[in-house]
Structure 1
Amino acid sequence: MRQLLLIVSLCVVFPASSDAQHSGVFDLESYNAFLAGSENITGANLLQEHPIGAFKSRTDLDASSGLFSDSISLKYELTGSEQQLLLRNGFVVTERLQPNSFGDGFTDIYKKDLPVFVSTDAILHALHMSYDLFLQEIENQLIIPELSSLMSSVRSQLTVVHNGTSDERVLQAVADLDVLLTVPMRLLTGEDTAPVFAGNEATIDQLLNLIDAESPGQYALFAEECRNIDFSQFTPRGHYAEDVSLRRYFKAMIWFGRTELYLSQPGTVECQASEADVDRQVRLAVLMTQLLRDPVALRSYRRIEGQLAFFVGEPDNVTYDQLESLLTAVSASSVTDFVDDANVDVLQDTLATRPFAGQKILSQILFSNDIRDPDAIEPASAFMLFGQRFVVDSFVSGHVVYDEVIPEPSIDPRMLPSTQDILYALGNDASLQFLQDELDEYRYAPNLEAARFLIDGLGEDHWESTFYNGWLDAIRTLNPPQDRTDLPSFMQTAAWWQEKMNTQLASWAQLRHDNLLYAKQSYSGGITCMFPYSYVEPFPDFFRSVSALTRRTAAFVRDSAGEERIAMHFDNFASTSDTLAVIAQKELDKRSLSEEEASFLRRMLREVDSCGPVIDGWYPDLFLGGPDQAKESDLIVADIHTAPTDKYGNNVGWVLHAGTGPLNMAVVSAEVEGVGTVNFVGPVLSYYEHLSTGYKRLTDQDWATAYSVAPSHRPAFVNIYLADASGAIRPGQVSLATGDTEEPVNDPPSTKIAISNYPN
């Protein structure tokens, strides 16, 4: 049950640990307990509770005197503005230099015989490219065949059930299940698969036409009353848009992942399901569960679910196993046990006592006619065969907007989250400074801090449980520490930690892109070529986290899929990350590298055949697709949140996107033990945001041009370190607090991106 939050300017008391205890796992009760005791928290209170200290406004090193300073300026023709940013910050990133890929960027540095900067961006990008290709192989080789087998096995039983009963309610459930399975069968195969019962043909055709239209609409799905369905979610995006079989698979899994079979009534003022409609869908869910016990079908279900659980996590809905446990609890086993509505009531009453009954993330279009009513919108308890997965970042974005944040009188509802909400909830205290305007305007600090409390308390088991969580954990290691005195000079500046926000968000966009089908969206060699020096971005905990993630992935692949080639790739990724962690730690400790470590860095990349077009080395080996994949251009976009209406209730269909743009070149000036100041060059990621209307969900193909035109934009926090495409300083510079009295610091801006919201 949601609680009305009245935020007033009184004394503030953060909940004591005894009031809101954390279990170390995701616990909605802990979140609600913290929220209940935090209603007076303000944005200013959060700054006091999570102090990050003052950053430096300038570096202490003189980059102009660094080794290879003249060579880099000459060979890359640095502009006066780029050199100015380099001297001020100890590094500069420029949009003027845009390598096609990390492989191309490193190759260019290699050919120019310049010191190379190995950024965390480069490693995260290799992780993204390998995971995305790995996912495609598993989908094509394992999941698609098993999904086809499962549907065929269940559909083959429908005639037997139909012929064995005369009860109208059971017959209705059988007919409904035919529709539930024939629609995705046609979507998956692209063939005109006949329904088991010819009378369903018209219904199936209507649904397929709505799916093809890819626009929200109303349809009485397994019901007499209408339902608002966001058919725009069927738009194939990410790697699913590139291949016919994957496009078909995407649509079939969106059907299974978003078609809710109501086990209770949702809270909405439009298209409200009747009790009879819900009872009908309960019987449909029970029949699906009953027929899934078939050994062939159940084996396929387990194989698919095992893969998806490792990739992303558990579904945010009632699952097959949970519904089986409910049937056991009420001494029922088949759909015939629920011909009597009284037995449906018993099942629903029992379900209401279970922790898995409710959905944690609203991901459907529901409406309220009273924005002050905290109970007006409530997602149904629902069964789905392969429901979309719960992910903590979607939980955050869905709980800092209406209707989780109920506005006070005179305050507008917050319809869209900020990506800075995600960073703060994941532990980046500096990002809080860029949220103050919105925290003051919408007064949602209690919700944001409750989400942070929940995530801060998650134990290792959570972060190690899925590939998705492990990737998020690696991103978390790039948060700024409170004590930065022992870090390299450039890493003590505000500009650097704003650049790391760019890295975090770009990698997060890649994470959401690769998993957008499964993650639940919130509503609301040559002789003369060489690297004379190499500098690994000194985040040893980041490399340790990536090592642990890829080692777990190798073990999973070996055990579940028997793909030794893929397992060996991730083992190699882990070993390389281990070595990079040791090197990064030595850089922080100001210790010289061993000859073996220096030799390893020199083997990062080389061109064979006398500087010919083929590259090898440990960096291209990080790509599952090999050297060719390391040289591929990769601009991606993911829709991360949907707001059906604006604050006035107008149907706008806002879809918030996060994406990556062209790579930029960075020049970094750092101290090398036993050498002195050296200037390094390396490619880094760029991050963009985009807000579309009319439920337009961008594909990577759309993004290839859309990233560069309005409303796509880069957040204002990048301007402090980024030179534009002409090599000039970008206007509108903003900074994290530096405490520098010699030059004024611009007020940190809100990064808001631009009637229920749902995260994607």
Structure 2
Amino acid sequence: MNNKLGLKILAILLAIAMIAGGTVAASPANGSEIPHPANMDSIEEIYPLDDYAKEKLFENGFVVLKDHEHGNISDCYWGLFDESNVSVFITTDALLHIFHVVHDDMLKEIEKEHLYNSTEFLVQDMQKLSMDEYQNTSPDLAHVKEAARRNVVFVTVACKLLDGSYPVPGYAEENVTEYVRKILEHSATEFYPGDDYTQYKPRGHYEGDPALERYFRCMKWLSRRILRIEDEMHPEDSHIEIVQAAMISEMLRDSPEDMRLWGKVYNVTTLLVGTADSITPVMVKNATDNVFGANFTASMLENTSNIEKLRVEFRKPEYPESEIIPVPLYSPGDIPPKYIQFMGERYVPDSYVFQQDTYPHIPYLTRLPKGLEVMATMLGSERADQLLESEKETYTGLESQMNKLESEFGNYTTEDWKKNVYCNWFYTLDPLLVEFNESYPLFMQNTAWQDEKLNTALSSWTQLRHDYILYAKQTYVPCPVAQGYGYVEPIPEFYSRLSSLCRKIETELSDEGVLPEKHRDGFSSLAGKLDTFGTYARKITHNETLTTDDGEYVYGGEQDDIHGFGLWLLGFFSGWNDGIMEEEPTLVADVCTNSFTKRVLHEGVGRFNPVIIIYREPDGKALAGIGYVMSYYEFEEENYTRISDSEWKKRVETDALPPRPFWTDSFLYPAEERVQGDLNRDGVVTAADAVIALQIAARGRHNDLADMNGDGRVTALDALRILHAAVGGVEL
């Protein structure tokens, strides 16, 4: 190939990359040059930069140093405390991580001190009531008798998961033993009407704590077990299961204490993560009251005509259809749209996005979605949408589905976003995902910073999924005085929303009587700090000077307050809040499962990376600051494998990590090395990559990683080469 032709091809490829929203970092929108900071030597004493790192720093106004990794956020910022000539940069990542630590620790304590005991009392009492129902039901009522027996099995499994020595009646022993074995082994995967028992592997903050592991398995069982209203493929079972549901509703009706316990567990978890994505026992009671009146008894459902009357009632719109498929299916129509669950896995909007962006809504059996789709559709991130261009070109129908979802979420009101902690967390992330205009500092006015904020939002979203992995579908010494430069990430609305979320949790869970005092104090302290930083952020956006210690302020100026963030963190995690223990950011959550390929999508967070920024003060002085940002990973596991936190931490410690997403190249130094043929960017070449290459070829598109022979084209032969590489064959 001659040089002119090569340059033409290179120019075309660069143009395509820019049109497709690739990771070529744009300079600040107003064309201004990044100034040289007065304190650059002090910065490099902490993090030396080679010429390539400096090139990225002065191109974008910031750089994230991938090869420098840190664990505890307090250690990160405390290490800068005595560096008075270094500007301490408070990142949204740091504050989101602190919120996650307090929130996750709170959730653990609420579960151990309140929900565990309430659940145990509830299922043990309902087990006794179920046994009485079975004993008192005449054998002449065959369906009702079997429904009563199955209810004994259902609640006895729950009791057994909390207490391995719990007695089992002989008529239920075979079924109970089998279910408990499958749950404890958490390896079997059954298609509907069975269950995916890999979901019962304790993950998140439940792993490693015996009590929380027992609670996890029990609550999963109570939330996942489906009672069918109607099922043409299994009519006998659906007849029995609708009777089961009516019996459970009747037992709760007749036992005010059990109804109180069920309501406590359901209401607290609803405040946190939202309502069930199924019909609840309370709705079943409403249905039986509407059809049969207050004198309803389950024995009335031996009559098939009464069963049909109840089914007609359930077909009314006030009884919700489930939005998210909970179990593996051979085909999408296998599972009926409405079913009943005792506690119900919760409807979460990001799982709804994943449901809508996969088969059968788009015609590709093997596809797993991307975290970017959540940011693009739920939060309207234009940058995320740009980065998904090649994905939309590859998978017909994805773009129209995403447009539909974006329209749906665009109709959400502020009240919709604030209805529970889970949705409110997304609402807090929303201000991070905008295109920052000329009113913001230069380092924020480029696509690289938008990519870094996607990294922040996706990392925080991973923490959210991790915290709610059970329900969705952590001698007195006088303080020194801080002195030095300081700067906060100037997004005022972010601080306001996260502060509001802290106060919402503090108020609503206190009203329920379940919020521990240390977490109430923790959320209150964090909210106060966020309010202060929000004030500083507004001053920065208005080009006002943050004060320094000139003797006028008793405790130093505003920049000194920021510079001393590390000291505040040490106090926050070591004593002021009576035992909230700091956690490293490394965690993982599985978020989507493909029944056809048996592959499981995971979102992970690694260690903190330092970020160096360059900014101007209102007087024109240029300074460099150091802060810390999270590291986001997205990867797939085969054969229904679900990775726990401890397994992920081992990968982090041994550097056995998947590559960072391709779009992080715009702000990371050094950038990730890309594997030729790895089109879904999961770090390995598989047959799935060959399928993607074939689709690219069919559409006449180009992708550098798919062009295996470097001829500037992607053809079916390239797809074949990728397939050979995937199976270890010879290169063609």
Q: TM-score, normalized by length of structure 2?
A: 0.82
Residue equivalent to 1:396: 353
Corresponding position: 1:706 with 2:673? no
* 2:624 counterpart SS class: strand
Retained in 2: the 8 A contact 1:534–1:680? yes
How much has 1:257 moved relative to structure 2? 1.4
Residue equivalent to 2:412: 458
Pick one of 206, 209, 221 that aligns with 2:178. 206
**AA partner of residue 59 (structure 2):** R
Change (3 A) 1:732 1:217: closer
**AA partner of residue 478 (structure 1):** L
Residue equivalent to 1:40: none
Pick one of 612, 633, 636 that aligns with 2:584. 633
Tell me the distance in 2 between the aligned counterparts of 1:289 and 1:732. Answer: 56
Residue equivalent to 1:621: 572
Change (3 A) 1:531 1:439: farther
Corresponding position: 1:287 with 2:247? yes
Tell me the distance in 2 between the aligned counterparts of 1:625 and 1:700. Answer: 28
Tell me the distance in 1 between the aligned counterparts of 2:619 and 2:563. Answer: 24
Retained in 2: the 8 A contact 1:548–1:574? yes
How much has 1:567 moved relative to structure 2? 2.2
Corresponding position: 1:719 with 2:692? no
Tell me the distance in 2 between the aligned counterparts of 1:616 and 1:74. Answer: 21
Residue equivalent to 2:484: 532
Tell me the distance in 2 between the aligned counterparts of 1:581 and 1:556. Answer: 23
Corresponding position: 1:486 with 2:439? yes
* 1:227 counterpart SS class: coil
* 1:691 counterpart SS class: strand
Change (3 A) 1:723 1:598: farther
Cα deviation, 1:155-185, whole Å, max 9, x if unaligned, reads 2223432343312322212211111011111
Pick one of 110, 127, 133 that aligns with 1:161. 133
How much has 1:537 moved relative to structure 2? 0.4
* 2:391 counterpart SS class: helix
Tell me the distance in 1 between the aligned counterparts of 2:240 and 2:195. Answer: 18
Corresponding position: 1:264 with 2:226? no
Residue equivalent to 2:301: 338
How much has 1:63 moved relative to structure 2? 5.4
Pick one of 143, 148, 165 that aligns with 1:192. 165
How much has 1:57 moved relative to structure 2? 2.7
How much has 1:376 moved relative to structure 2? 3.5
* 2:353 counterpart SS class: helix
* 1:645 counterpart SS class: coil
Residue equivalent to 1:329: 290
* 1:363 counterpart SS class: coil
Cα deviation, 1:696-747, whole Å, max 9, x if unaligned, reads 10000000133566672210111111113xxx7867999xxxxxxxxxxx98
**AA partner of residue 83 (structure 2):** K
Residue equivalent to 1:649: none
Corresponding position: 1:366 with 2:366? no
Change (3 A) 1:129 1:703: same
Tell me the distance in 2 between the aligned counterparts of 1:641 and 1:201. Answer: 33
Residue equivalent to 1:313: 274
Retained in 1: the 8 A contact 2:366–2:594? no
Pick one of 196, 203, 223 that aligns with 1:230. 196
Tell me the distance in 2 between the aligned counterparts of 1:74 and 1:51. Answer: 36
**AA partner of residue 399 (structure 2):** A
**AA partner of residue 644 (structure 1):** S
Residue equivalent to 2:682: none
Aligned pairs for 1:20-99 within 5 A: 56-58=26-28, 65-99=36-70
Cα deviation, 1:588-633, whole Å, max 9, x if unaligned, reads 11012356797355345759xxxxxxx7426753899959867542
Retained in 2: the 8 A contact 1:390–1:519? yes
Change (3 A) 1:79 1:588: same
How much has 1:378 moved relative to structure 2? 4.3
Residue equivalent to 1:382: 339
Tell me the distance in 2 between the aligned counterparts of 1:141 and 1:570. Answer: 19
Residue equivalent to 1:252: 218
Change (3 A) 1:693 1:620: farther
Residue equivalent to 1:348: 311
Retained in 2: the 8 A contact 1:263–1:383? yes
Corresponding position: 1:589 with 2:542? yes
* 1:390 counterpart SS class: coil
Change (3 A) 1:181 1:600: farther
How much has 1:341 moved relative to structure 2? 1.3
How much has 1:526 moved relative to structure 2? 9.1
Retained in 1: the 8 A contact 2:200–2:217? yes
Retained in 1: the 8 A contact 2:131–2:152? no
**AA partner of residue 542 (structure 2):** D
**AA partner of residue 211 (structure 1):** I
Change (3 A) 1:204 1:158: same
Residue equivalent to 2:113: 141
How much has 1:685 moved relative to structure 2? 0.4
Q: How many residues align?
A: 646
Retained in 2: the 8 A contact 1:147–1:300? yes
**AA partner of residue 579 (structure 1):** T
Change (3 A) 1:551 1:320: same
Pick one of 130, 136, 151 that aligns with 2:123. 151
* 1:415 counterpart SS class: coil
Tell me the distance in 1 between the aligned counterparts of 2:301 and 2:576. Answer: 52
Cα deviation, 1:674-699, whole Å, max 9, x if unaligned, reads 36211000111000112001111000
**AA partner of residue 247 (structure 2):** L
Tell me the distance in 1 between the aligned counterparts of 2:656 and 2:569. Answer: 39
Choose between structure 1 and 2 for higher RCO, CA contacts under 8 A separated by at least 6 residues.
1
Tell me the distance in 2 between the aligned counterparts of 1:598 and 1:428. Answer: 39
Retained in 2: the 8 A contact 1:238–1:638? yes
Tell me the distance in 2 between the aligned counterparts of 1:480 and 1:658. Answer: 22
Corresponding position: 1:668 with 2:579? no
Tell me the distance in 2 between the aligned counterparts of 1:94 and 1:104. Answer: 17
Retained in 2: the 8 A contact 1:605–1:619? no
Tell me the distance in 2 between the aligned counterparts of 1:366 and 1:276. Answer: 20
Name stretches of at least 5 consecutive residues in structure 2 with no aligned partner.
1-17, 680-701, 707-721, 723-732
Corresponding position: 1:645 with 2:645? no
**AA partner of residue 534 (structure 1):** G
Retained in 2: the 8 A contact 1:262–1:380? no
* 1:109 counterpart SS class: coil
Tell me the distance in 1 between the aligned counterparts of 2:594 and 2:667. Answer: 32
Cα deviation, 1:282-314, whole Å, max 9, x if unaligned, reads 011111111112111111111111110011000
Retained in 2: the 8 A contact 1:210–1:217? no
Aligned pairs for 1:481-520 within 5 A: 481=435, 484-520=437-473
Change (3 A) 1:545 1:620: farther
Retained in 1: the 8 A contact 2:459–2:631? yes
Identical pairs, percent: 25
Higher mean displacement: 558-567 or 92-101: 558-567
Name stretches of at least 5 consecutive residues in structure 1 with no aligned partner.
1-46, 220-225, 266-271, 369-374, 608-614, 647-652, 735-745, 755-760
- Structural RMSD (CA): 3.1
How much has 1:154 moved relative to structure 2? 1.3
Q: TM-score, normalized by length of structure 1?
A: 0.80
Residue equivalent to 2:149: 175
Cα deviation, 1:336-361, whole Å, max 9, x if unaligned, reads 12111111111111111124331011
**AA partner of residue 421 (structure 1):** E
Tell me the distance in 1 between the aligned counterparts of 2:57 and 2:185. Answer: 51
Change (3 A) 1:364 1:729: closer
* 1:306 counterpart SS class: helix
Pick one of 599, 618, 624 that aligns with 2:557. 599
Pick one of 629, 633, 640 that aligns with 1:688. 633
